Amino acid sequence: MNEYYSDMLFLDMKPFTLLHRLGVNGKQSGSLAAIQEIPHAVTVMYGPRGCGFHYRNTVRVRSGPVANLECAGLTDRDVIFGGERKLRRLLPEIDRTKKPEMIFILPTVVSDVINDDLYGIAQDMQAEVKAKLVIVKSQAFSHMDKTNSRKNIAERARQNCKQKFSGADYRGCGYVEVMNALVDQVMEPQAKDPLSINIESFIWGYGGTEKLKRMSGLLASMGIRVNAFLPAAGLEQIRQMPRAALNLVRRKKWAMAMEETFGTPYLHVADLYQWHGLDGMRELYETIGRMLGILPRVQAVLDEEEARIRPLLEESKQVLSGHRFCLITNSLSALPELIKCYEADDGVPLRHILLIPNPNFQRDFAVDSVMMERLYGRIREAMELYHCHADLTVDPSAEQMQKIIDDSEFLICGSHPRYAQFGKPVMPGFLDRVVFDYDSFAEVAAEFAARVRQQEPPGHLLLNRMEYDPVFYPLRTDDSNTWASREMYTRMWRLRKR
């Protein structure tokens, strides 16, 4: 089975995308996402029963309800007197009955207010339990602050198209809090293996496992060993993480902590699009090679791989070259990367670009007119840099859109079903296929080309009976209650001055 498509099927079948349009979950969902990757680990949710109940159904763990989640079941008595005695009773019991290697104690908003000394309790209890006790420390209350997304957009606006984005550090993200706890409480100093790296196994897109497996294969051909994937590692592997000479990371806060404590440098892959294509992959591996001091060896492998793969890519590009594509997107800030990926890397001749941004983009993300102009400037820069000759239309009228789509043969719209009604073949959103080995890159290109050869638009698509919003898919235009819930979140949180 192709992991990309199986991830799409199995992970997307639960309608959490819709819920994410209405708000976010508490940070514990991110913490559980990290801990679920760790074998033989149990989590104790240090909060009331409701937290221990509903967080089992968390978005980041889509395979099904979280199984290994215990709860302290704090009550009003614990709120007044502290819940310490419950934890002291629960930890040995879990240790005895579940026999985990690690027990994570996860704070909740209630325990953050009670402010029990969890570190002290863990220190006391460690002698009594075999499992390694790990206290996840709250870096923020409830959930991550909204300033992260604003910082991201501001950083993009400041950069030119070729600069690598390094993003916010996601303080208070539950996932990051667990990663920091692993650095602080589990990892131990090790003798360095100069040619080994750790790779963070988190949000590499659909088909992520296969991507990382193939990346490891390519690294091995360069003489670089993967010391561990984190957080998908057992206790012993996590202890030995500092053995690696480099961390390849998707979130940098924990990597910064590891650099400070163990002297392990890191390479931050913040935005996958920016490492897309032959040049993106080359830059990634060359950077790794440079940081490990084996650049010539890495370059030799890359040269060989590129030479092997180029004829295959040319064949695919040839198929695309005679056609007219229309790219439809909502993302003002990511459009430069999309232009690069499609036009320059994949050889998709873009005839039109339709940009349909969030009408409240400036309000929701605190973007002023100067920053807006910079974001549009980046788009113009990308078009010039990557020789994109498409007509860019922003927020088209229905009539304009019809005309533009009439002039196009294929639509690239991230599989947004709204555009199927135009009767043109819709190409699947291939950007999640950002891959990090040459064979995969050629395979994706060949698949894209095969779609162009074969695809006939469906004639009687059931989805055409529904009017999806152009920006906030899967919200429907006539679904006033859902829109109201979304707007409530915006007004109560996104627009809160703080």
Partner 1 sequence: MKPMSGCALIGAARALSGIRDGAVLQHSVVGCHWGSLAAGMLQQPDDFRQASTVVYEENVIQGGTELIPQGLDNITQLYPDAKVIFVISGCIPNMIGDDTESAVDRWQEEHPEHTVLYIPAPGYAGNENDGIERALLALLPLMAGHETAENEIKRETGSAADQNFVSKKLPTVNILGIMASDPYSINDLQYLRRLFAGKLEILCASHQCTTKEISRMGQADMNIVFGRGEKLAKIMWEQFGIPYLRCEYPYGIQGMRMFLQKLEECLSVDFSEEIRKMEKEADRVVRYSGMYLTTLYLLPAVVTGDRAHRPGMKRFLQDELGMDVTAGFDADAGDQDQLETELQHSNAVLLLGSSFEAELAERFSLPLVRYVYPVVDEVCLTRQTLLGAEGTAYLVQQIVNAVMRVRYKAEGIFRALRD
Q: Which is nearer to partner 1, 69 or 390 (CB)?
A: 69
The alpha carbon torsion through 211, 217, 219, 223 (nearest 10 deg) reads 170
Task: Based on the shown chain and the rule CB under 8 A, indicate whether residue 51 belongs to the binding site for partner 1.
Answer: yes
> For residues 100-129, which are near partner 1 according to CB under 8 A?
109-110, 113-114
Task: Based on the shown chain and the rule CB under 8 A, indicate whether residue 54 belongs to the binding site for partner 1.
Answer: yes
Q: 19, 307, 450, 461: which one contacts partner 1 (CB under 8 A)?
A: 19
Q: 6, 117, 141, 203: which one contacts partner 1 (CB under 8 A)?
A: 141
Q: How far apart are CA 324 and CA 452, in angstroms?
A: 11
Task: Based on the shown chain and the rule CB under 8 A, indicate whether residue 69 belongs to the binding site for partner 1.
Answer: yes
As given in the structure block, the two tokens for residue 225 are 């060993």
Q: How far apart are CA 128 and CA 93, in angstroms?
A: 11
Q: Which is nearer to partner 1, 14 or 323 (CB)?
A: 14
Q: 142, 221, 299, 415: which one contacts partner 1 (CB under 8 A)?
A: 142
Task: Based on the shown chain and the rule CB under 8 A, indicate whether residue 74 belongs to the binding site for partner 1.
Answer: yes
> To which H or E segment does residue 196 belong?
strand 193-200
Rounded to a whole number of angstroms, the minimum distance from the CB of residue 411 to partner 1 is 26
Rounded to a whole number of angstroms, the minimum distance from the CB of residue 57 to partner 1 is 5
DSSP states of 116-131: --HHHHHHHHHTT-SS
Rounded to a whole number of angstroms, the minimum distance from the CB of residue 182 to partner 1 is 23
Q: What b/e sequence results for 214-228 when a residue is b if at least 16 CB atoms lie within 10 Å of its CB, and e otherwise?
A: bbbebbeebebebbb
As given in the structure block, the two tokens for residue 448 are 């894209």
Task: Based on the shown chain and the rule CB under 8 A, indicate whether residue 24 belongs to the binding site for partner 1.
Answer: yes
Which residue type, as a one-letter code, is found at position 215? M
Q: 4, 7, 28, 30: which one contacts partner 1 (CB under 8 A)?
A: 28
Size, binding site for partner 1 by CB under 8 A = 63
Q: 8, 57, 82, 171: which one contacts partner 1 (CB under 8 A)?
A: 57
Q: Which residue has the tokens 């012993």?
A: 236
Rounded to a whole number of angstroms, the minimum distance from the CB of residue 27 to partner 1 is 8
Rounded to a whole number of angstroms, the minimum distance from the CB of residue 331 to partner 1 is 24
Task: Based on the shown chain and the rule CB under 8 A, indicate whether residue 295 belongs to the binding site for partner 1.
Answer: no
CA angle 269, 445, 208 (to 5 degrees): 40
Task: Based on the shown chain and the rule CB under 8 A, indicate whether residue 461 belongs to the binding site for partner 1.
Answer: no
Task: Based on the shown chain and the rule CB under 8 A, indicate whether residue 166 belongs to the binding site for partner 1.
Answer: no
Task: Based on the shown chain and the rule CB under 8 A, indicate whether residue 29 belongs to the binding site for partner 1.
Answer: yes
As given in the structure block, the two tokens for residue 170 are 């996601």
Task: Based on the shown chain and the rule CB under 8 A, indicate whether residue 73 belongs to the binding site for partner 1.
Answer: yes
Whether residue 167 contacts residue 155, with contact meaning beta carbons closer than 8 Å, is answered with yes
Task: Based on the shown chain and the rule CB under 8 A, indicate whether residue 465 belongs to the binding site for partner 1.
Answer: no
Judged by CB under 8 A, which stretch of 157-165, 296-304, 368-376, 486-494 contacts partner 1?
486-494
Q: Which residue has the tokens 């499992």?
A: 131
Q: Which is nearer to partner 1, 7 or 343 (CB)?
A: 7
Which residue type, as a one-letter code, is found at position 256? M
Which among 10, 21, 9, 14 is positioned nearest to 474, based on CA atoms? 21
Judged by CB under 8 A, which stretch of 153-161, 270-278, 395-403, 476-484 contacts partner 1?
476-484
Give the Å distances, CA to CA, from 457 to 323, 417, 419, 450.
16, 12, 11, 14
Q: Which is nearer to partner 1, 112 or 409 (CB)?
A: 112
Task: Based on the shown chain and the rule CB under 8 A, indicate whether residue 70 belongs to the binding site for partner 1.
Answer: yes
Rounded to a whole number of angstroms, the minimum distance from the CB of residue 493 to partner 1 is 4
Which among 259, 250, 164, 186 is positioned nearest to 212, based on CA atoms? 250
Q: Which residue has the tokens 């390094």?
A: 166
DSSP state of 132: E
Q: Which is nearer to partner 1, 67 or 450 (CB)?
A: 67
Q: Which residue has the tokens 């199995």?
A: 10
Q: Which is nearer to partner 1, 278 or 466 (CB)?
A: 466
Radius of gyration from C-alpha coordinates of the chain: 24
Task: Based on the shown chain and the rule CB under 8 A, indicate whether residue 473 belongs to the binding site for partner 1.
Answer: no
Judged by CB under 8 A, which stretch of 61-69, 352-360, 370-378, 421-429 contacts partner 1?
61-69
Contacts of 345 (CB under 8 A, 6+ apart): 276, 277, 278, 279, 280
Q: Which is nearer to partner 1, 23 or 349 (CB)?
A: 23
Contacts of 280 (CB under 8 A, 6+ apart): 274, 345, 434
Task: Based on the shown chain and the rule CB under 8 A, indicate whether residue 10 belongs to the binding site for partner 1.
Answer: no
For residue 474, whether the previous peptide bond is cis, meaning omega lies within 30 degrees of 0, is: yes
List interacting residues with partner 1 (CB under 8 A): 14-16, 18-19, 22-29, 47-59, 64-65, 67, 69-76, 78-79, 90, 97, 109-110, 113-114, 140-143, 476, 479, 481-482, 484-485, 487-489, 491-493, 496, 498
